[in-house]
Amino acid sequence: MRLRAFRLALVLLLFVGIMLQAAEGNAYWQRVMGGFVNPVEVYEYTYEYQGPELELTAKVPQLIGGFDLVWQEAFNLGLRQRLEDYVAEMKSVAAQAWELYDEEYRPYPYEGIMDFEVKLNQGGLLSIAIVNYSYTGGAHGMTTYDYINLDLTTGKAIGFYELFDTDAELERVIALINERIAEEEWFFIDSFTFDHFHEEQGFYLQDAEAVVCFGLYELAPYVAGVQEFKITPPEGSLD
């Protein structure tokens, strides 16, 4: 009991320290570059299914060690529900296709994979990339990514336009993307503009930088893969 109380007190002190930093006006960039490791840990919740019509492996992140246990459980439950929805959809699609064809012409088993990678877990910030791969026939499967960026001191998601919160910052991102477009021949566009950003633009935080992401076919053909652009911190971020 005493050990549990000590651990809870330690977690509380760590989170209070992060909150005081935030109250002093530290920007997200400062916390990405210089923050200490969070007390929150990420583990995986796994589901597997194998049948003649579908082979599926799915993992979603779950948090432990957070100070706000109510928020933490709601977050974990939401991702488990997302996994259940994904499994139900894949099973339904595979079953319909299996029944559509005669036994002799049935397609190979459909395949579904959901996995994730923790990109950053420090400074009161948590960044996770979730990948979904689905094969439902044809020449190749499709891969999509979703990105979770959280401020653990508030429990709120960090949006792209909160990290890049000025026109000057957005122009800096655009310039770096256009440098890559000028170097490579596979892009669909000659130049990147403000209009190419999404309302919920994908990105993740990692290794003292942000990585801005675009899915398959958005800026380049399938063979070029998901397009990622590393954005270094703005000058003066640690001043």
Residues 25 and 65 in one domain: yes
Residues 144 and 177 in one domain: no
Angle, CA of 42, 46 and 50, to the nearest 5°: 160
Residues 129 and 216 in one domain: no
The tens-digit pLDDT sequence of the chain (239 residues) is 444 443 444 444 444 444 444 433 337 998 988 778 899 999 999 999 999 899 999 999 999 998 899 999 999 999 999 999 999 999 998 998 888 877 666 667 899 999 999 999 999 999 999 999 999 877 788 999 999 999 999 999 999 999 999 999 999 999 999 999 999 888 999 999 999 999 999 999 998 899 999 999 999 999 889 999 999 998 765 55
Which of 124, 155, 186 terminates a domain? The answer is 155
- Check if the beta carbon of residue 97 is closer than 8 Å to that of residue 110: yes
Q: Check residue 185 and give its pLDDT.
A: 85
Strand partners, 30: none
Residues 22 and 79 in one domain: yes
CA gap 119, 126 in Å, rounded: 8
pTM attached to this predicted model: 0.85
Structure tokens at 30: 């400062």
Residues 20 and 71 in one domain: yes
- Check if the beta carbon of residue 102 is closer than 8 Å to that of residue 145: no
Domain of 55 in residue numbering reads as 1-155
Q: Check residue 173 and give its pLDDT.
A: 97
Residues 118 and 174 in one domain: no
CA gap 32, 86 in Å, rounded: 31
Residues 163 and 144 in one domain: no
CATH number of the domain that residue 188 is part of: 3.90.640.20
CA gap 220, 217 in Å, rounded: 5
Q: Check residue 56 and give its pLDDT.
A: 96
Residues 132 and 191 in one domain: no
Q: Which is it for strands 54-64 and 110-122: parallel, antiparallel or unpaired?
A: parallel
Q: Check residue 105 and give its pLDDT.
A: 66
Residues 230 and 205 in one domain: yes
User: How many domains are contained in the chain?
Assistant: 2
Residues 84 and 32 in one domain: yes
Which of 155, 183, 217 terminates a domain? The answer is 155
- Got the DSSP string for 149-178? EEETTTTEEPPHHHHS-SHHHHHHHHHHHH
- Check if the beta carbon of residue 33 is closer than 8 Å to that of residue 238: yes
Which of 135, 155, 175 terminates a domain? The answer is 155
Burial of 95 (0-12, 13-18, 19+ CB in 10 A): middle
Q: Check residue 97 and give its pLDDT.
A: 84
Structure tokens at 95: 């079953």
Residues 138 and 204 in one domain: no
Angle, CA of 234, 235 and 239, to the nearest 5°: 110
For residue 106, CA distances in Å to 30, 57, 158 come to 55, 22, 45
CATH number of the domain that residue 75 is part of: 3.30.565.40
Residues 21 and 103 in one domain: yes
CA gap 208, 230 in Å, rounded: 10
